[in-house]
Structure 1
């Protein structure tokens, strides 16, 4: 996906935009990441508690891992994603649609890490991370992890990362990002934790669960599963690869 993509009115060929991600590169270097010009985030949410020890095969940790794998935690009113569910998780390209104030921004990310480990402190952790591609509103990396604290049985969700607004944004988009972007970013993290907690606990009670029947755009999955393709979306002002 090239930098500085155009504005789109009306129908969007999202499959083509997703396909273009294959030739895009990560849009930053880790050597650049430092305070104060980059934001560092750590957002932890308690999900539930199961018996101490290894994760239960059908317990809260296992259920949360499935939801995180499929991007079910993302609030669809803020961010939706298109990806190929048949592709391996590691290396998967995802086309994110960031929504705010009647505008939809289409930005690419790539899954560059899968976490699956038992840590020295006894925590059992599974998750994954994506990094931003050329054309994204931001530059940076976000890691999503489901953690079973085996000593206590607590299951938590951790979203952590670093980011900054892309320096290649045009003046108008940069101004909008300065005014709304950070606020929306923090709201996104908070809503991710809230949704995942609701779904994990709802799965145990048998209510407040996502449909788990995903909409599709051709062969691509639209996530989360409660995202909806609405006719009025065709009236939104869209921007492809704003960075």
Structure 2
């Protein structure tokens, strides 16, 4: 019998170690200065998820399922982006290696979780409280982009509405290779939009599947979740360290 291959997070240990030591390629403390007027792209995307009954999030409802999908990072389209990370690392300290498919070539980038959000907020229109959970990650040195993207799942506790919101602030980073610089200039924006739109579509599909199939974890259909779901000990650590 052939031995089981090592999980991806072990095979990518050198990259994970390098990105753990890497710094950001932008200044997170200046996020409020990064606007369209100063040359940054500010994007917002949203998708509706199956509603729940009014009140706090249900233990195995739509909101909790979306939190699970976000935590596993199983929602990005694997043909564009796959994420690899250590399952025993708390989410608030997570560093990820992102494998991006671009111009027929695989590129390896690093990102780090900047903040985990888990709180009850007052809705801006005074319509009652909402429960929110999610996180942002920030680009590290060597990334083709610089900036931050945030994934947050919301529940309106008064109406039962559940939705997921993506907020991104980005700018093209320093790309030394002129071929890649030109390709990213021509196609990078299209890939950005496609990533967010397809990620929300896949998240909604995975949430609906979890609700329909009795809370089964998202399918391991790409490297994003494969290193965890293929190893029981790693899966247990991921479940333990979601927050």
TM category (shorter chain) comes to 0.7 to 0.9
Pairing of 1:52-131 with structure 2 (within 5 A): 52-121=54-123, 122-131=129-138
Pairing of 1:137-156 with structure 2 (within 5 A): 137-156=144-163
Quote the residue 1:43 is aligned against: 45
CA distance in 1, matches of 2:73, 2:224: 6
Q: Deviations over 1:176-205 (max 9, x none)?
A: 111111101100000011001111112222
Q: Deviations over 1:69-95 (max 9, x none)?
A: 110111111100110010011121100
CA distance in 2, matches of 1:213, 1:39: 32
Do residues 26 (structure 1) and 24 (structure 2) align?
yes
CA distance in 2, matches of 1:172, 1:195: 31
From 168, 183, 186, the equivalent of 2:190 is: 183
2:132, 2:153 within 8 Å by CA — same for their partners in 1?
yes
TM-score, with structure 1 as normaliser: 0.80
1:211, 1:225 within 8 Å by CA — same for their partners in 2?
no
- SS of 1:223 mapped into structure 2: coil
TM-score, with structure 2 as normaliser: 0.80
Higher relative contact order (CA 8 A, sep 6+): 1
Q: Deviations over 1:20-61 (max 9, x none)?
A: 112100110143623241100110100111101110111111
Q: Relative to total residues, which structure has the larger helix share, 1 or 2? A: 2
Q: Which runs of 5+ in 1 are unaligned?
A: 1-12, 216-221, 228-243
CA distance in 2, matches of 1:164, 1:15: 28
Q: Which runs of 5+ in 2 are unaligned?
A: 1-10, 124-128, 229-243
Quote the residue 2:212 is aligned against: 205
1:113, 1:129 within 8 Å by CA — same for their partners in 2?
yes
